[in-house]
Structure 1
Amino acid sequence: MNHRPRKVALIGWGAIGRVVGGALAAGEVPGAELAGIVDNRPLGDAVPAPQLTVEQALAACDLVVEAAGQGVVREWGEAVLASGTDLLVASTGALTDEELAKRLLATGPGRVYFTGGAVGGLDLLQAVRAMGPLGEVTLTTTKLPATLEQPWMDEETLARLRTATAPVEVMSGTARDVPARFPRSTNVAASVALATGDLDAVRVRVVADPAAAHTSHVIEASGPHGSYRFEVRHLPDAANPATSQVVPYAVLRSLAALAGRRGQIL
C-alpha cells in the first residue's frame, strides 16, 4: 500500500537545519519531502525549498522540525500542534519548563516528538525506569570553554573560562536548572531527564576543557535492578561548535521513523 509522503517544514537553517534540509531535498529520507524552510533571516535563492512564515509552513506541511533553539518551542510549539501539525523537537532543553511540557503534551490534534540528539542509551534507561525508579543519575558534559560562555556570566567567570589551562567546572545542578542556563549546550541533560522521568533526580556537571577535541557526555545511573554507564565523544560541528556533528543525523533518524521506514532498531 502506498502512503502519502510526509511534507516537512524546517524551522531553522543553521548547522542542524542545513544538513537535515539537504538530506530531505536529496530524497534521502524515504516517505518524507521538504516543503519549506522557516528562518528569520533572508535566505535568498540558495535553499532547496521555499522560505515560508510559520503560518505558511503550517498550511503546507504535516510535520514541523524545530532546529533553531528552545525559544522556538516556547513561542510556536502549541500553535504548531493546535493546527494539527506534528512537531519534532531537537532542542529538548525547552521541556525542562514543566508547564510548557504539560501544555505541549496536552495540545492537539498534532503530536509532539523528541529526538535524543547527541546521546545514546535513553531507550535502555526508559526500559529500566519501567521496572522501578532509578536511585541516582548523573551527567557530566565537557566542552570547549568558548562554547559555554553565556550572557549571564560575570567577568570573573568569563575570565576563568578564557584563561583555563585545565578542565574547569562551570556549573553543577539538576536537569531542571542547567539547560535553562546553557540553552544551546545542554539539551542532553533534558533528554536524559525525559528518559528517566525526573528533572530533579538527574545531577548535571558542566565542564569546560581547553583541550577538549571532542564534546563528551558521560551518563551514569544506578538502581535496584542494575547500574549503567554510557559515554559518548563527538566532534563538534565546525560551523557551530556548541552542537555536535551527529545531532542533525539523529534528527534524520527520527524523521525516518516518523515517515514509516521499515527495518530499523527502535
Structure 2
Amino acid sequence: MTSTLKVGLVGWGAIGRVVGTALAEQGIKGAELACVVDNRPLGEAAPAPQVTFEEAIDRCDLIVEAAGQGVVREWGERVLTSGTDLLVASTGALTDEELAKRLLAAGPGRVYFTGGAVGGLDLLQAVRALGPLDDVRLTTTKLPSTLEQPWMEAELIGRMRAASGPVEVMRGTARDVPVKFPKSTNVAASVALAVGDLDAVRVRVVADPGATLTRHVVEASGEHGAYRFEVAHRPDPGNPATSQVVPYAVLRSLAALAGRSGQIL
C-alpha cells in the first residue's frame, strides 16, 4: 500500500488557505495536511497544527511554499538537505541563478515547481528539446493597484493611478521583472524555466484600470514552429496580485506528487 504524503504548508494567505483547506478535507487522495507554518498566529483558523519551520521539516515528506520568494531564498536549501521535498509556487525566486543552481544541486530532497497562472509550459519544454526558441515574449496585464512598488518614481505611480487605459510599467527580461514585482510576476519566471533561459524571455508589464481579468500572453517561435498562449484569470478577491486559479494549480501538482496525476481537480 502506498504511504500517505505528509504535507507541510508554508503560508496561510490567498493561496495557502485554498490549498490547506482542500488537503484538510482530504481533497487530494494520498496526501494529508500535517502542519502549517506562518509568521502570524492563526489559532483555530488553521485546520492543522501551526508549527515552526524546523518542526515542519521534521514532520513532513513535502513542504509547499505559498508565502513568497523570500521563503524559497531563506529555507529552500535547508528543506532539501534535510531530505524533505519542496514544491515552489513563487517561481520568481529562481531568477536568482545562484539560488536556482544551489536548489537543483541540493538533496536528498527534491525540488518541484508549479506553473501557476500560465499554461503551455509543457509544450515549450518539449519544443526546447528540439532546439532553441529564437523569440519568446510575455505580456502581463493587471490592475494598476496590484503593480505599484516602492521603487517606482512618483511620476509613474501618478500615471498608473490616473490612467484611463493601458500603461506600460516595465519592459525587461524574465531575469529582471520578477525581482521588481516579487508578488505578481512569477509567470515570467515560470516561462523562463520552461524555455531554459532567463534572458531569452522578453517581458512587458502593463497596468490597465479596465483589467477585470489578469491577462498573460506568451508568444514563442523558433525553427520548429510558432506558439501563442493567452490566459485571462479572475484575480483572487483577497489578494488581487495573484490569480484565483493559482492554488488549484498547486493542488494539481500535489495530486501528481501523491500519485494521482490523472485526477481532474
Which range, TM-score by smaller chain? over 0.9
Corresponding position of 1:242: 241
CA shift, 1:105, in A, is: 0.4
Structure 2 distance, partners of 1:178, 1:154, is 16
Give the partner amino acid of 1:105.
Answer: L
What displacement does 1:140 show? 0.1
Distance 2:204 2:154 in 1: 21
Distance, in Å, in 2 between the alignment partners of 1:119 and 1:168 is 22
For 1:191 and 1:264, the matched residues in 2 are separated by 23
Per-residue CA distance 1:185-209 (angstroms, 9 max, x = gap): 1000000000000100000000000
Counterpart for residue 15 of structure 1: 14
Give the Cα separation in 2 of the matches to 1:195 and 1:151.
30
Match of 1:138 in 2: 137
CA distance in 2: counterparts of 1:264 and 1:126, whole angstroms: 22
2:247 maps to a residue whose letter is P
* Structure 1 position 103 matched with structure 2 position 102: yes
Q: TM-score normalised to the size of structure 1?
A: 0.98
Distance in 2, matches of 1:120 and 1:144, equals 21
Q: Which residue does 1:206 correspond to in 2?
A: 205
Q: Deviations over 1:92-121 (max 9, x none)?
A: 000000000000000000000000000000
Shift of 1:46: 2.3
Q: Is the 8 A contact 2:255 2:263 kept in 1?
A: no
Q: Distance in 2 between matches of 1:197 and 1:219?
A: 15
Which aligned pairs between 1:111-260 and structure 2 lie closer than 5 A?
Answer: 111-260=110-259
More displaced 10-residue stretch of structure 1: 104-113 or 153-162:
153-162
Map of 1:74-85 to 2, 5 A cutoff? 74-85=73-84
Deviations 1:8-52 (A, max 9, x none): 000000000000000000000000000000000000122100001
State the Cα distance separating 1:263 from its structure 2 match.
3.0
Identity among equivalent positions (%) equals 78
TM-score (norm 2): 0.98
Q: Distance in 2 between matches of 1:6 and 1:162?
A: 46
Work out whether residues 252 and 261 of structure 2, in 8 Å CA contact, stay in contact via their aligned partners in 1. no
1:221 Cα deviation from its structure 2 partner: 0.3
- Alpha-carbon shift at residue 84 of structure 1 (Å): 0.4
What amino acid sits opposite 1:29 in the alignment? I
Which residue type is aligned with residue 77 of structure 2? E
Tell me if structure 1 keeps the 8 A contact 2:256–2:262: no
Code of the aligned partner of 1:104: L
Q: Give the Cα–Cα distance (whole angstroms) in 2 for the partners of residues 24 and 89 of structure 1.
A: 17
Q: Within 2, Cα distance between the matches of 1:177 and 1:92?
A: 13
Q: Give the match's secondary structure for 2:204.
A: strand
SS in 2 for 1:241: coil
Alignment RMSD (CA, Å): 0.8
How many angstroms apart in 1 are the aligned matches of 2:249 and 2:100?
Answer: 21
Q: State the shift of 1:154 in Å.
A: 1.5
Q: Structure 2: any 5+ residue segments left out of the alignment? A: none
Instruction: Give me the whole-angstrom Cα distance separating, in 1, the residues matched to 2:94 and 2:177.
Output: 12
Structure 1: unaligned runs, 5 residues or longer? none
In the TM superposition, residue 83 of structure 1 has moved relative to its aligned partner by 0.7
- Between the aligned partners of 2:263 and 2:244, the Cα distance in structure 1 is 22
* Mapped contact 2:63–2:84 kept (Cα < 8 A): yes
Quick one: distance in 1 between partners of 2:165 and 2:190?
28
Matching residue of 1:36: 35
